[in-house]
Structure 1
Amino acid sequence: MRTTLDNPAGAPQPLGPYSQVARVQLADGGALLYLSGQIADGADITAQSHGVFATLTALLEAHGATLADIINIRTFLTDMDDLPGYAAVRRTYLTGTPPTSTTVSVPRLFRPEALIEVEVVATCPAGRP
């Protein structure tokens, strides 16, 4: 098993010294993709949620995967009253069978203006880059 850490050139770059994607090659030629938590700019939960999913899409596509390949999603919200707004946006991006999911309320995120942070695990079937 081989692990590669990556910050793909076509995706927004990280805000600190960390890798956004850990790609774990599997024996069958497929891979597991672990994506760091993502935040986005925006004035409200809707804008930030759309920004987060745009970044997740870019990171997954750089490794040959799509949002449909997500098997686990973890969401951190600074205000649980924002859950309905986030859920509405999420449904527009995750349209198939929903992945396993955890949503947690946190007092704050590393950037004070961030209302949401989302991290995912996805599969990348054999034969994709």
Structure 2
Amino acid sequence: MRLTLDNPRSVAAPFGDRFAHVARLDLAGGALLMLSGQVAVDDDGAVIAPGDITAQAERIFEIVGGLLAAHGAGFGDVLHIRSYLTDLAQLGGYAAVRRKVFTGRPPASTTVEVSRLFLPGAVLEVEVTAAR
């Protein structure tokens, strides 16, 4: 068993290098990937489309897809997804994007409403656990 903490070059570095984007646990025959929560930021770390959950969901899944790909995985390898929304009334916009990403059987899921996220204008944060 081997643990690697990674920040793939394909995705902007974490804010202030305070965390790793991916914790990878290599096991016999595969690996467990635990991704840090992702918000919709551009390559400079600015929130895109403040307040727009649909645009933010699309960007977040773009980032998550890049992190998974950097470890040889894809959305079909996702075991569990955790979603944090600042307003559950916007769940429909997020769910529509998610249905496009997870076209087969969807992964296990947790969705909660939070009072705010750490970046102003961010309305959604998503973290993922995957196995490859």
TM range (shorter): over 0.9
SS in 1 for 2:129: strand
Tell me, in whole angstroms, the C-alpha distance in 2 between the residues paired with 1:23 and 1:123.
9
Alpha-carbon RMSD: 0.8
Runs ≥4 residues deviating over 3 A: none
Equivalence for 2:5: 5
Equivalence for 2:27: 26
Q: Give the CA deviation at 1:112.
A: 1.8
Tell me, in whole angstroms, the C-alpha distance in 2 between the residues paired with 1:13 and 1:87.
27
SS in 1 for 2:20: coil
Q: Give the CA deviation at 1:12.
A: 2.4
| Sequence identity (%) | 55
SS in 2 for 1:37: coil
Match for 2:4: what amino acid?
Answer: T
Alignment coverage as a number of residue pairs: 123
Equivalence for 2:61: 53
TM-score normalised over the length of structure 1: 0.92
Equivalence for 2:80: 72
- Where structure 1 has 5 or more consecutive residues not aligned to the other structure, the ranges are 125-129
Q: Give the CA deviation at 1:13.
A: 2.0
After superposition, the C-alpha distances for 1:55-80 in whole angstroms (9 at most, x for unaligned) are 00000000000011100000000000
TM-score normalised over the length of structure 2: 0.90
